[in-house]
């Protein structure tokens, strides 16, 4: 018995064992108890199966619900004023010297109460859902003290109560040096390891720990200490690695068995090989590359050569990627980095699920996984990558429940 059956549809299952998109023409999906109970060609549908409700999809395409596996979508305020000033010649450094940049967002985020933070972040999450997202990762990193980092993580989890989406939370206390610790980065890392990580772990409000390993962030030695503490508390790790320079971040992430290393513009072959050996996914973030007008591209050919799974994400944040569209992210990955359509679609489905440690639960149309499905009004999957600024989502199904994410969630 199915609770809901989707029929008269083509499927891009994105199953790891399928070739390319794992296409099933004239397919059907049976859903029971929020999970995919059966999926396949309609001609092979079990004859004995009964169904409570049938949705005829009018020949539309069904894909797994999208997974945005790297966002900083929870924050207060925005930095449109800084963007405007930069267009008139101010540099990022000028703005930082005057207390702007990340610090401006830290001040606004510290000043906002938890409910206010949820209210300000909700439209960004709703925009992602309106393009078929059913799972989302959210990082902290604008609180930069234990209480405010915890407030951000709780706000992120509240969004999953308010909206039909799965949220995974990541502690990014090692994002920037808070003003109270100016000139004392090692003392701040001590504080993160001894105070923030234990408190967050005890509260059970983070799934993973991330750090910004960069000349303008934290050193590999400091990241190592953060990762060791995270591991001691049983938390997964991920890393902002090699975005602006090659500090060996990819290899460092791999050494700790990270779920993912993210950005990776400057990653060398040794780093890619280490990621392949440790099963660490590569998260490609074309939005930040575009918004910062960068020129150094991530080593896509090496990820292919070593079989490192590539995920794509928005990096939604107020400073370097004010982006809330995975459709546009896919177009950027294709046009800027040369990813194929199949790579783009895998990047926002099964590989993104892997980057969050959720490969067993979502990210492909497979029996036994959660019924997270997006129904698209397109004539072929490539249309989702090809168009710019057009949203053909018809409906979204989250955990077996159908909604119209395009109208109802702001
Ligand atoms: N890398 C970045 O580029 C952003 N964070 C990070 O780890 C910057 C975030 C911001 O400017 O607010
Ligand atoms: Fe980021």
Chain centroid, CA 13 distance in Å:
20
* pLDDT score, position 18: 63
* pLDDT score, position 91: 87
Q: Is the CB of 212 under 6 A from ligand 1?
A: yes
Q: Is the CB of 60 under 6 A from ligand 1?
A: no
Look up residue 327 and give its two tokens.
């459709």
* pLDDT score, position 96: 82
pTM for this structure?
0.97
Instruction: Determine the distance separating the centroid of ligand 1 and the alpha carbon of 317, expressed in angstroms.
Output: 7
* CA–CA distances in Å: residue 399 to residues 3, 201, 226, 408: 12, 27, 34, 17
| Residue whose CA is at the smallest distance from ligand 1 atom 7 | 212
List residues bridging with 6 in a β-sheet. 29, 55
Closest CA to 249 of 216, 280, 274, 220: 220
Chain centroid, CA 108 distance in Å:
23
Ligand 1 atom closest to the Cα of residue 142 is: 12
Ligand 1 atom closest to the Cα of residue 240 is: 7
* pLDDT score, position 98: 87
Instruction: Determine the distance separating the centroid of ligand 1 and the alpha carbon of 387, expressed in angstroms.
Output: 27
Pocket test for ligand 1, best of 70, 71, 72 (most atoms within 8 A of CB): 72
Closest CA to 150 of 123, 181, 110, 194: 110
Instruction: Determine the distance separating the centroid of ligand 1 and the alpha carbon of 331, expressed in angstroms.
Output: 22
Rounded CA gap, 203 and 289, in Å?
A: 35
* pLDDT score, position 285: 98
> Which residues in the chain show pLDDT less than 50?
none
Please report how many Cα atoms fall inside a 13 Å half-sphere around the Cα of residue 120, on the Cβ side. Answer: 21
pLDDT in tens, 331-354: 999 999 999 999 999 999 999 999
List residues bridging with 60 in a β-sheet. 9
* pLDDT score, position 372: 98
pLDDT in tens, 81-138: 999 999 999 988 888 888 899 999 999 999 999 999 999 999 999 999 999 999 999 9
């Amino acid at each position: 018995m199915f609770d809901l059956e989707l029929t008269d549809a083509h499927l891009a299952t994105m199953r790891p064992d399928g070739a390319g998109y794992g296409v099933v023409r004239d397919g059907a999906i049976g859903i029971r108890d929020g999970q995919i109970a059966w999926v396949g060609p309609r001609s092979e549908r079990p004859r004995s199966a009964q169904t409570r409700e049938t949705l005829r999809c009018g020949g539309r395409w069904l894909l797994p619900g999208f997974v945005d596996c790297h966002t900083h979508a929870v924050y207060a305020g925005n930095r449109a004023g800084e963007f405007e000033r930069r267009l008139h010649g101010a540099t990022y450094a000028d703005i930082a010297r005057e207390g702007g940049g990340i610090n401006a967002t830290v001040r606004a985020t510290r000043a906002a109460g938890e409910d206010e933070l949820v209210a300000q972040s909700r439209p960004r999450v709703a925009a992602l859902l309106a393009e078929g997202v059913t799972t989302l990762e959210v990082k902290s990193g604008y609180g930069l003290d234990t209480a405010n980092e915890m407030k951000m993580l709780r706000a992120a989890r509240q969004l999953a109560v308010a909206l039909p989406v799965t949220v995974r939370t990541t502690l990014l206390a090692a994002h920037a040096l808070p003003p109270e610790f100016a000139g004392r980065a090692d003392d701040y890392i001590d504080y993160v390891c001894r105070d923030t990580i234990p408190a967050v772990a005890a509260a059970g409000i983070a799934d993973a720990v991330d750090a910004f390993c960069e000349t303008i962030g934290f050193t590999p030695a400091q990241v190592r200490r953060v990762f060791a503490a995270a591991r001691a508390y049983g938390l997964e790790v991920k890393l902002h690695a090699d975005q602006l320079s090659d500090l060996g971040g990819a290899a460092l992430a791999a050494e700790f068995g990270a779920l993912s290393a993210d950005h990776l513009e400057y990653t060398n072959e040794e780093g890619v090989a280490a990621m392949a050996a440790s099963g660490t996914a590569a998260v490609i973030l074309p939005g930040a590359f575009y918004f910062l007008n960068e020129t150094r591209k991530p080593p896509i050919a090496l990820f292919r050569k070593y079989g490192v799974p590539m995920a794509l994400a928005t990096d939604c944040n107020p400073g370097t990627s004010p982006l809330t569209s995975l459709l546009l992210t896919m177009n950027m990955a294709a046009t800027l980095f040369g990813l194929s359509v199949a790579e783009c679609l895998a990047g926002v489905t099964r590989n993104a699920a892997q980057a969050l440690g959720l490969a067993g639960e979502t990210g492909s149309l497979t029996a036994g996984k959660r019924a997270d499905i997006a129904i698209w009004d397109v004539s072929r999957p490539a249309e989702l990558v090809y168009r710019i600024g057009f949203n053909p989502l018809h409906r979204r199904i989250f955990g077996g429940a159908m909604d119209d994410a395009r109208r109802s969630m702001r």
